[in-house]
Amino acid sequence: MRFVLPKGRLFKGSLEILRKAGIELKPPENRELMVKNGRYELLLARAFDVPVYVEYGIDVGIAGSDVVEERKSDVLVPLELPFGKCRLSLAMPKENAVSVEEMDGFRIATKYPNLAKKFFEKRGVEVEVIKLHGSIELAPKIGIADAIVDIVETGNTLRANGLVEVEKIMDVSALLLVNRISQKTKFKEINELVLKIKEVVKDES
Ligand code: PRP
């Protein structure tokens, strides 16, 4: 069975929940992106690409609900996992904070163009969305965007850059992802895995 895990902030929690469910995956010691662990194979990918790998053939993955929604990947989501909790929010510089309805014509910087566009469309507010790949908080600080749509966990990055949250767009959590074909061809193995993780989650709550 092949697993794809995100290299960033969800990596440790992902390895840990799988270990508790009886699946020991050793992270690679060098820059390798694929390691074999007996019957299992571990692939390391960028967080935004995990749902794509699962959609196109990797059996199981773990990714945040933010990237799953943004990528709109066709994957099965049998379980929400009890880590990676944060939120996707709209934020802007403290000194000129306004409500969403007053943002017509604003330029929004984000790693989540689809979710940002959907949010503003629903509110009937026309904005320009520019996609960046990280350090989003920099964009309004130096004036290339009026506001941002980004992940907030502790709120430290917003505070450190003089930004305030205007609205929460969605709650985010880690999710277990399963490839649609694998769910059929490896039904027993995947079902056992999902049940074991469910038990771990239950015991911890
Ligand atoms: C994420 C996110 C924020 C920050 C939020 O960035 O994009 O910048 O963490 O966390 P906080 O509320 O606890 O401060 P990440 O560290 O993943 O790196 P990035 O900026 O390169 O996306």
Domain ranges of the chain: 2-84+173-204, 86-170
Q: List the single range of 29-38, 46-55, 116-125, 195-204 with lowest mean pLDDT.
A: 29-38
2-84+173-204 with 86-170: one CATH topology? yes
Contact in structure between 52 and 2 (CB atoms under 8 Å): no
At 28 the pLDDT is: 86
At 55 the pLDDT is: 98
Note the CATH number of domain 86-170.
3.40.190.10
150 CA distance to ligand 1 centroid (A)? 8
At 198 the pLDDT is: 97
Q: Which atom of ligand 1 is nearest to the CA of 153?
A: 12
Per-residue pLDDT of 15-70, as tens digits, reads 999 999 999 999 988 888 999 989 999 999 999 999 999 999 999 999 999 999 99
Pocket test for ligand 1, best of 9, 66, 151, 168 (most atoms within 8 A of CB): 151
- Dump strand ranges (E) for 96-198: 107-110, 128-131, 147-152, 163-172, 174-178
Q: Which atom of ligand 1 is nearest to the CA of 150?
A: 7
Max Cα–Cα distance, the chain, nearest Å: 57
The CA angle 47-18-2, to the nearest 5 degrees, is 65
Q: Domain 2-84+173-204: which CATH class?
A: alpha beta
157 CA distance to ligand 1 centroid (A)? 7
The CA angle 88-111-18, to the nearest 5 degrees, is 65
At 204 the pLDDT is: 85
Pocket test for ligand 1, best of 67, 137, 152 (most atoms within 8 A of CB): 152
112 CA distance to ligand 1 centroid (A)? 13
Per-residue pLDDT of 73-107, as tens digits, reads 999 999 999 999 999 999 999 998 999 999 999 99
